[in-house]
Amino acid sequence: MSLTPDSYGPVYLIGAGPGDPELLTVKAMRLLGEADVVVYDRLVSDEILNLVPKGASRIFAGKAADKHHLIQDEINELLVKLARKNYNVVRLKGGDPFVFGRGSEEAEVLHEHGISFEIVPGITAASGCTAALGVPLTHRGKATGVRYVTGHRKNNGELDLNWQSLADPDTTLVVYMGLSSLPVIRDELIKAGMPGELPAVAISKGTTPDQQICRTVLAHLPERVVEEDLPTPLLYVIGKVIEVADIWGSIPAADLLDYHGEAENA
């Protein structure tokens, strides 16, 4: 995306995928290799950072709940400043920059300052992590659609989600960044009519060597995540599509609990 022939940039807003460096796109790999400066997020894996050229500068701009190394306004200002120095700037984000990555907000600021930018999509955690487990996001007879939502509450406020819309048992629901809000999410979904026995899986550090999973049902999801002490980043998938993984046994049956909390027979 080019604004004018004499504009600064482009700044490359690149999706690094869910963690596995082999899931990077060819274009992302090429642009990383040409970077002068890489501004990267907390969710970008060390294996991917090792692909940054030795002579390039790396600037950490990670954010976690209530812990911001740089606040968003500072990140925006940094990108503008670097672009105006005519550096080859890569803004590297976990997953896809336009799926809960605030990439569009950064693009807006660059545009306002006359700096061109280019979006390089990445594999978002929902598709990358579920594929690693052999769980389809849609499957005939199991789910006719998929919904992505964030469980993050801005300034510790209430989640502003349409629970009635999300409680459709024929739609796969994927929740990003929902650790602290998980009990509320469970309660509101069941209150809105989603069956408590609907299969659910929590995926920690998906696609990486440190991946951990916890399979259960919606009603018990918050308690099981606490019991397993799963580290972030965490992704939650709720829906009948999880049952498809039973065909090839990619999720241990021992992790499956029924609605009453008793282990099912394998």
pLDDT at 253: 61
Q: How far apart are CA 12 and CA 59, in angstroms?
A: 15
* Residue 176's CATH number: 3.30.950.10
Structure-token match 């006719």, residue found: 144
Just list the catalytic residues.
Answer: 41, 63
Q: Which pTM value belongs to this model?
A: 0.89
* Residue 34's CATH number: 3.40.1010.10
Q: Are 170 and 94 contained in the same domain?
A: no
Q: Are 149 and 235 contained in the same domain?
A: yes
Residue 192, domain extent: 125-255
Coil vs helix vs strand at 56: coil
What's the domain count of the chain? 2
pLDDT at 69: 72
Q: Are 29 and 147 contained in the same domain?
A: no
Query: Amino acid identity of 136?
Result: P
Average pLDDT of adjacent 10-residue blocks, the chain of 266 residues: 64 97 97 97 94 96 68 95 97 97 96 96 98 97 96 75 96 95 96 97 96 96 96 96 94 57 41
Torsion of CA 249, 251, 254, 260, to 10 degrees: -110
Q: Are 105 and 136 contained in the same domain?
A: no
Enumerate residues 6+ apart whose C-beta is below 8 A from 7.
114, 115, 116
Q: Are 211 and 251 contained in the same domain?
A: yes
pLDDT at 204: 97
Is residue 266 domain-resident? no
pLDDT at 155: 61
- Domain end position, chosen among 86, 120, 154: 120
Pair 109, 76: CB distance under 8 Å: yes
